[in-house]
Amino acid sequence: MRDAYHEELDSIGDSLVEMARLVGSAIGRATTAMLDADLKLAESVIAADEKVDDLQRDLETRAIQLLARQQPVATDLRIVVTSLRMSADLERSGDLAQHVAKVARLRYPESAVPQDLQATLLEMGQLAQRLMAKAAEVLITKDVDLALQLEQDDDAMDLLHRTLFQHLMDDRWKHGIETAVDVTLLGRYYERFADHAVSVARRVVYLVTGDYADEIDPALAAATGAAAGSAATGSAAPGGAAAGGAAADGGAAGSGESR
């Protein structure tokens, strides 16, 4: 009975890793669709978000059933509760990738982004994908030091976001109001996507240490992360029993959506 219980905890962790990988792929494909005005690719990203939603609902159902049947305490309770929160972060990330794809669809056959801003948006998309890939790695390894690095990596996204606004506020802006709205929304989607990746990593820190990320001493984090990584390596399931241990702003331009 207890073996089945721990297998279920492991499966929740595996689901989180799968969600992270799916939304990371989605933001990369959505970025390509937006920059290349690829309608078919945009539609595929929009449709694929349903799988992320299904995974989130299934995880939530299993977690609630575990709470009801097993009444976990201490570390196990922290795993289940943190998993529910992380699944919400990942589901919102999927929505944000979908919003980027919807901007691409809305402006087809033109690109939603002016030529002089495409390099910046491409960099934001690539950075968002890397951040989520790192969050997935943190879910697997429970590396606290790596998790804390994500917050530093997110500073680069904040800088790119500010760069977009500098272009928008420049008196030489010549692309009109509609494009300005698109660029503003796209910048917000990428910035929020990165924030959700950081949130997942911070929740792993709490799962492993019982402390919030901003309370962790860097030296202690390195030692804790190494120990957790060694334990995760010996786990049979890729997510590990502790892997489960974690509102998209705005909607597509002109669509009237809001998450």
pTM more than 0.95: no
Does 258 fall in a domain?
no
Does 153 fall in a domain?
yes
Amino acid at 196: H
pLDDT over 70 at 2, yes or no? no
Quickly list H helices, the chain.
Answer: 2-36, 39-70, 74-107, 118-141, 144-169, 176-209, 218-233
What confidence tens digit (pLDDT) does each residue in 34-48 have? 999 999 999 999 999
Does 239 fall in a domain?
no
Does 241 fall in a domain?
no
DSSP label at residue 252: S
Does 257 fall in a domain?
no
List phi, psi (to 5°) of 114: -60, 155
Rounded to whole angstroms, how far apart are CA atoms 61 and 13? 14
Q: What is the pLDDT of residue 1?
A: 53
Q: What is the pLDDT of residue 222?
A: 52
pLDDT over 70 at 230, yes or no? no
What confidence tens digit (pLDDT) does each residue in 242-253 have? 333 333 344 444
What confidence tens digit (pLDDT) does each residue in 99-142 have? 999 999 999 999 999 999 999 999 999 999 999 999 999 999 99
Does 59 fall in a domain?
yes
What confidence tens digit (pLDDT) does each residue in 163-210 have? 999 999 998 899 999 999 999 999 999 999 999 999 999 999 999 988
Question: Angle at which helices 118-141 and 218-233 pack, to 10 degrees?
Answer: 70
Rounded to whole angstroms, how far apart are CA atoms 183 and 103? 10
> Where does the pLDDT of residue 217 fall: very low under 50, low under 70, confident under 90, or very high at 90 and above?
low
Q: Which residue has the higher pLDDT, 214 or 46?
A: 46
Domains contained in the chain, number:
1
* CB-based contacts of 127, cutoff 8 Å, min separation 6: 153, 156, 157, 160, 190, 194
Residue span of the structural domain in which 113 resides: 2-233
Does 50 fall in a domain?
yes
**What number is the average pLDDT over the span 6-15?**
89
DSSP label at residue 117: G
* CB-based contacts of 51, cutoff 8 Å, min separation 6: 22
Kindly report the CATH number assigned to the domain that includes residue 20.
1.20.58.220
Nearest to 87 by CA among 213, 258, 205, 243: 243
Does 11 fall in a domain?
yes
DSSP label at residue 255: T
